[in-house]
């Protein structure tokens, strides 16, 4: 049982590592959806769902704690207040990891002619019309992709009114920077929230 908990906890830790850009230095890929019939300015208070989708086996993961802290900052920057009871909004998180494959096709120069055959292209002596002699070489690279969802729910109606999603690639390097990467992902998601922060309005 303890082994199973550790595995699930580690998977959620990897989620945080996943929230880096997939081949992009600017951050995770982000999208958001909202209920356009809702006036978001009416909400003043919020709390977090219990349990959160990122909690496991009856305890709160480090990922959950980092997500809560980052989200609290973003919502408070938009004028909302965290309360213990009777919140107007509830916030929940969820994450998943998926195995992905990238296919790359590059020219292959395995066919060579002239002297030096077989050694570093030959080197293209004898015949220099290389392109007809090239064959495509397909390379497949496996990687892990993580997806983070942030749900904002109208507590009274029990209805989700906004969803932000960040998708990124897992790397070993970000395991050492889990908290700042989660902060980065949450901030990127909330750029799309209907109520802007003071810094966005400047």
| CATH number for 69 | 3.30.160.670
pTM: 0.69
Give the pLDDT score at 113. 44
Q: What is the pLDDT at residue 54?
A: 87
- Is 175 part of a structural domain of the chain? yes
What integer pLDDT is reported at residue 26 of this predicted model?
46
User: Does 177 fall in a domain?
Assistant: yes
Highest mean pLDDT among 48-62, 81-95, 113-127: 81-95
Domain assignment present for 95: yes
Does 118 reside within a domain? no
Q: Give the confidence band of 126 by pLDDT, cuts at 50, 70, 90.
A: low
Strand ordering across the sheet containing 135-154: 29-34, 159-169, 135-154, 89-108, 45-48, 81-82
**CA-to-CA distance for 196 and 161, rounded, in angstroms?**
16
Cα separation of 201 and 62, whole Å?
32
- Residue 66 in any domain: the answer is yes
Residue 58: inside a domain, yes or no?
yes
pLDDT at 96: 74
* Beta carbons of 193 and 76 less than 8 angstroms apart: no
Range of the domain at 160: 2-103+144-201
What's the rounded mean pLDDT across residues 121-142?
56
Query: Residue 181 above 70 pLDDT?
Result: yes
What's the pLDDT tens digit per position in 98-120?
565 666 665 555 544 444 444 45
- For position 169, what pLDDT does the model report? 74
pLDDT of residue 122: 52
Q: Is 123 part of any domain?
A: no
**Is the per-residue pLDDT at 152 higher than 50?**
yes
How many structural domains compose the chain? Answer: 1
């Amino acid at each position: 049982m303890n082994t199973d908990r550790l595995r699930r906890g580690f998977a959620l830790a990897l989620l945080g590592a996943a929230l880096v850009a997939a081949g992009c230095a600017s951050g995770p890929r982000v999208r958001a959806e909202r209920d356009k019939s809702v006036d978001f300015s009416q909400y003043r208070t919020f709390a977090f769902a219990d349990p959160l989708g990122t909690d496991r086996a009856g305890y709160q993961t480090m990922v959950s704690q980092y997500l809560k802290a980052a989200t609290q900052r973003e919502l408070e920057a938009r004028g909302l207040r965290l309360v213990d009871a009777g919140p107007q909004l509830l916030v929940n998180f969820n994450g998943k990891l998926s195995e992905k494959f990238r296919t790359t096709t590059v020219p292959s120069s395995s066919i060579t002619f002239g002297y030096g055959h077989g050694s570093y292209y030959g080197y293209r002596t004898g015949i220099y019309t290389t392109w007809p002699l090239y064959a495509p070489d397909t390379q497949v690279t496996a990687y892990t992709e993580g997806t983070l969802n942030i749900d904002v729910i109208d507590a009274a109606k029990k209805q989700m009114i906004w969803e932000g999603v960040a998708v990124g690639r897992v790397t070993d390097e970000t395991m050492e920077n889990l908290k700042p990467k989660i902060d980065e992902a949450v901030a990127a998601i909330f750029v799309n929230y209907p109520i802007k922060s003071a810094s966005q309005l400047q």
